[in-house]
Copies of this chain bind each other. A is one copy, B any other.
């Protein structure tokens, strides 16, 4: 069959196709045994871990993923709105995960689950990354509320904002913050502020985990980046079972030499992200049918 023009289809062909389409439209989900759950991935900004991680999580669950990785554009068309793109993909999918470069809005006229893969704006968050981070903290030998946790880097990042909100629900014993005046930061939630203080990387004291946030390229100069970098010297000050975590990517926030230290567990954290994303997709599907 070569279908370049509708002339290639007889009237009978057209009727067969449109009747079959109606059959699919009205058929109850449960009667379609080969049907697979579809996860829509709309990533109009670059993403490695979140996009591929959800695609792989979908496959692990027996689902399929469909991906939009750039805004519609060409020499002869203006881009359609982000909202229309998200709404369209949502209509083709059971659950949609989206990173759209602006504050994410719920799709109009659709009640299907929509999950942010990290958004932008003054209240930007990255909820799925924060769940992965809390999962990594939970895997440490020490219960969350007895933990002494240090967080180093840009405390205004979207994933940190989400993480602070989750930590606020179960505050650690101590929270040590390492940052720079040149970097933005939100006011800490009160329950966290009461257990927090600010220190230098080489003066953390006994911490159970050091969480390294990314520092966006270009927002601070090299002097500040150097001051906030986890080096072999910084690791020398940490205890033998302190876990260094980071949502990745690492550009230079952890020195290349330090990356090979067994206390740096950033790839374990990344690998475990797969299981958290599987659970998030299942949670979303449960919400969509209840």
Interface residues of A (CB under 8 A from B): 1-9, 11, 13-14, 16-25, 32, 34-36, 38, 40, 45-46, 48-49, 52-53, 55-56, 58-62, 64-68, 70, 72-74, 76-80, 84-85, 87-89, 91-93, 103-104, 106, 108-110, 113-116, 119, 123, 125, 127-128, 130-131, 134-135, 138, 162, 165-166, 169, 214, 216-219, 248-251, 260, 267, 270-272, 274-276, 278-280, 282-284, 287-288
Contacts and interface: CB of A to CB of B under 8 A. Distances in A.
A24 B275 contact: yes
Given A279-B17, A279-B21, A34 B55 contact: no
A282 B20 contact: yes
Contacts of A134: 14, 18
A48 B85 contact: yes
Total identical chains: 3
Nearest to A60: B35
A114 B2 contact: yes
A218 B38 contact: no
22 contacts: A11-B169, A13-B283, A14-B169, A18-B138, A18-B276, A34-B62, A35-B62, A38-B60, A45-B74, A46-B73, A48-B68, A48-B85, A52-B67, A52-B92, A59-B66, A77-B216, A77-B249, A78-B217, A80-B251, A87-B267, A92-B274, A108-B260
A204 B122 CA distance: 46
